[in-house]
Amino acid sequence: MLRKHMHEENRRSWNAATDAHNSHKVDQAAFLRAGGSTLYPDEIELLGDIKGKSLVHLQCNSGQDTLSLAQLGANVTGVDISDAAIDFAQKLSSDSGIPGTFIRSDVYDWFEQAAQKGETYDIAFSSYGAVVWLTDLATWAKGIARILKPGGRFAVIDFHPYAMIHGWDWKLEQSYFNGAEGLHFENGVGDYVAMSKDALTPSGYLEGVKNFVNPHPGHEFNWSMSEIISVLVQADLTVKVFKEYPYFNGAKLFGEMKHGEGNRFYPPDGMPSIPLMYGIVVEK
């Protein structure tokens, strides 16, 4: 069931957070213009060869990854609910000279509009903190299936829902099976860029906004792996790849995490390895 009033509150929350996040990043246009990339090897591996392909980046945030994909040869379109993120992405595309189309829309509304126009893509992509903002998984999966060309594929890399039931101190705080109920916060999206510093700012880190507290509420839905995979299969998409990873790329989301090579973060010493991210590729 779509919960549009929560989408709207999340939009306002992301508008505020986006400004804070980008305040910490040194000239991103110059970084991209010089050939810099915000991608990690894991999503590049999942996506495979994208040169000359039409690619839609769903929930693209401020467009850094979208434009990095364009530099690999894809013809990119980015879609995001946040006005601030899309405004930033459009300016980043212009200032960097990297072509990309960016659309401000609730992803569910965009699915409907794209289907009505007969728009289809070779590849759809989502990454890093995208799935938790979805209030209706089945409608999302069907929307993806409708906008893919025959033989097209969808790749997602995201934080593992098992990891996200832990609190900052690694204690279990949430049920693994409460996706549909959601988690509701008085202060929405936090400043995870400030928490991760250099690991999430390849162009260089600035102090920027200090002690950010989001004035808008937020709503997240920590869907289980079985729910995510099931809706994709039920949308007649064939699972080609399912991977789990013992690290977070770029994001220090819990306390005392070890900062490893390639800006990967691992659990503290003495803690067993657990899945921190997952990757899925499905084909139409």
pLDDT tens sequence across 200-232:
899 999 999 999 999 999 999 999 999 999 999
Q: Which domain holds residue 63?
A: 4-283
The pLDDT, as a whole number, for residue 244 is 98
The pLDDT, as a whole number, for residue 196 is 87
User: What one-character DSSP code corresponds to residue 255?
Assistant: T
* CATH for 66: 3.40.50.150
Q: Give the confidence band of 138 by pLDDT, cuts at 50, 70, 90.
A: very high
Beta bridge partners, 103, equal: 79
Contact 212, 189 (CB under 8 A): no
pTM of the predicted protein model: 0.95
What is the total count of domains within the chain?
Answer: 1
Q: Give the confidence band of 2 by pLDDT, cuts at 50, 70, 90.
A: confident
User: What one-character DSSP code corresponds to residue 188?
Assistant: -
Question: Any alpha helices (H) in 118-252, and if so which ranges?
Answer: 137-147, 192-196, 225-234
The pLDDT, as a whole number, for residue 190 is 92
Measured CA to CA, the distance from residue 218 to residue 190 in angstroms comes to: 10
The pLDDT, as a whole number, for residue 195 is 87
**pLDDT above 90 for 199:** no
Q: How high does pLDDT run on average in the chain?
A: 96
